[in-house]
Amino acid sequence: MRTVAAVAALVFVAVAAAAQTPPPANQAAPSGNPSLRALPDGPGQPMAELQGLDKVTARTQRFSAPVGKSTSFGTLAITVGDCLVNTPDAPADSVAYLTIIDHKPGQAEQKLFAGWMFASTPSISALDDGVYDVRVLSCTRTQGSTAPSSR
């Protein structure tokens, strides 16, 4: 139990530090964790599988966000800067660097989040907003060269 608390504290400190700046190019891992790596090479584009919750309408939606491009959820623009997974010898986990900007009509855009989100521990580094929740589910690749279908 102490080990879990120590690891959680270490991850929290690393996430807080990483949230201050965008990920440097070719960064191996957000917390210096050697078990995190880029998605293995293969067909398709790297994607972050995300889940969004609109607290006003209670609408939950799973969606894919391509790495390096912006995706919309409600009034949010979500950009995935990087998406990493654990090596096969480590417990399964995915981590994504997200920048989330709110574009409410008639208001100036507002950056709500910029940092690493872990799929295994969404409460450590979550989007803290009164209207929306966004969490990382996994990092994957699109199947083939076509865009993923809507769900």
Give me the amino acid identity at 80.
V
Domain range for residue 10? 2-141
What is the rounded CA–CA span in Å between residue 19 and residue 114?
A: 6
Specify if 149 maps to a domain.
no
Specify if 146 maps to a domain.
no
Beta-bridge partners for 101: 77, 111
Q: What is the pLDDT of residue 114?
A: 95
| pLDDT tier for residue 108 given thresholds of 50, 70 and 90 | very high
What is the rounded CA–CA span in Å between residue 94 and residue 15?
A: 14
What is the rounded CA–CA span in Å between residue 46 and residue 140?
A: 6
Specify if 47 maps to a domain.
yes
Specify if 7 maps to a domain.
yes
Specify if 106 maps to a domain.
yes
Specify if 8 maps to a domain.
yes
Query: In Å, what is the CA distance from 39 to each residue of 58, 75, 96?
Result: 32, 29, 11
Is 69 a residue whose pLDDT tops 80?
yes
pTM, entire model: 0.72
Specify if 150 maps to a domain.
no
Task: Please tell me the least confidently modeled range out of 26-40, 57-71, 102-116, 122-136.
Answer: 26-40
Helices (H), the chain: 2-18
Specify if 86 maps to a domain.
yes
* pLDDT cut 70: percent of the chain above it: 72
Domain count, the chain: 1
